[in-house]
């Protein structure tokens, strides 16, 4: 199958071990660096972190399929018949992830308040809230963007009605 000599194949194996090992280490490093574990209070942009880690994983996948599984040395017909159907997954990922985002947004809308993570609570809210929780809740209903009361992830809005 392989068009390489025995010595050349052995080199590919060593290269594979080094490439996959180093990429994995870089991935873990990026994950920890991006979340502020390595340098105190230093965070990477989320999109940059995701882009780096997803593209490195895709490269690892390519390397395993093409070199370890010898896809590189198969005839084009076999390569196409195995790899082209996986393109359907591109559609599935886009369709289902946007569906998930829609569930998230509907849940927020049904509760008439944003749900998620608030790093800097709005100033007006922190003044009014605290001593009178009831008052702050009324306040939230009028100005949904100021709302802060968190929704338990387990609390599904559909079950409440």
Partner 1 sequence: MSAEHTAQISHQHNEGGSWNGASEPFKASYGKLMMWYFLLSDAFTFSAFLIAYGTLRFAMPTWPVPDFVFSALPGGIHHMPLIFVTIMTFVLIASSVTMVRAVQEGHRDNKKGVVFWMVLTIVGGLGFLSCQAWEWTTLIGEEKMSIVRNPFGTHTENGTYLEGDGHDIKAGDSFKAHSSYLIHFHDGQFHPLKYKTEAGEEKTQKMGPKAFGALFFFITGFHGFHVFSGVVFLIIIALNVASGLYAKRNNHYEMVEKIGLYWHFVDLVWVFVFLVFYLL
- Binding-site ranges for partner 1 (CB under 8 A): 1-2, 6, 9-10, 12-13, 16-17, 20-21, 24-25, 27-28, 31-32, 35, 37, 50, 53-54, 57, 60-61, 64-65, 68-69, 74-75, 77-78, 81-82, 85-86, 89, 92-93, 96-97, 99-101, 103-104, 107-108, 115-119, 121, 125-126, 129-131, 133, 136, 148-154
Kindly state the smallest distance separating residue 24's Cβ from partner 1, in Å: 5
Kindly state the smallest distance separating residue 96's Cβ from partner 1, in Å: 4
Distances (CA, A) of 140 to 71, 119, 125, 144, 151: 58, 17, 9, 5, 13
Task: Considering the complex, state which of residue 41 and residue 161 has its C-beta at the smaller distance from partner 1.
Answer: 41
- The number of angstroms, rounded, from the C-alpha of 119 to the middle of its chain's C-alpha atoms is 20
Kindly state the smallest distance separating residue 45's Cβ from partner 1, in Å: 14
Q: How many CB atoms lie within 10 A of CB 136?
A: 19
Question: Is the backbone of residue 121 left (phi > 0), alpha (psi -120 to 50) or beta?
Answer: beta
Task: Considering the complex, state which of residue 45 and residue 133 has its C-beta at the smaller distance from partner 1.
Answer: 133
CA angle at 65 for the pair 57 and 74, rounded to the nearest 5°: 155
Kindly state the smallest distance separating residue 124's Cβ from partner 1, in Å: 11
Kindly state the smallest distance separating residue 131's Cβ from partner 1, in Å: 7
- The number of angstroms, rounded, from the C-alpha of 71 to the middle of its chain's C-alpha atoms is 28
As a whole number of angstroms, the distance between CA 83 and CA 61 comes to 12
């Amino acid at each position: 199958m392989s068009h390489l000599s025995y010595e050349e194949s052995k080199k590919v194996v060593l290269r594979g071990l080094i490439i996959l090992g180093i990429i994995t280490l870089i991935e873990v490093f990026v994950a920890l660096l991006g979340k502020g574990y390595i340098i105190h209070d230093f965070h990477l942009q989320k999109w940059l972190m995701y882009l780096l880690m997803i593209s490195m994983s895709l490269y690892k996948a390519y390397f395993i399929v093409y070199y370890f599984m010898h896809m590189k040395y198969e005839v084009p017909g076999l390569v196409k018949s195995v790899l082209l159907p996986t393109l359907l997954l591109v559609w599935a990922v886009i369709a289902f992830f946007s569906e998930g985002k829609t569930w998230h947004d509907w849940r927020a809308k049904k509760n008439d308040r944003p749900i998620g993570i608030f790093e800097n609570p709005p100033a007006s809210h922190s003044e009014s809230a605290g001593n009178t929780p009831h008052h702050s809740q009324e306040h939230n209903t009028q100005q949904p963007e100021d709302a802060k009361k968190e929704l338990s992830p387990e609390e599904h809005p559909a079950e409440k009605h």
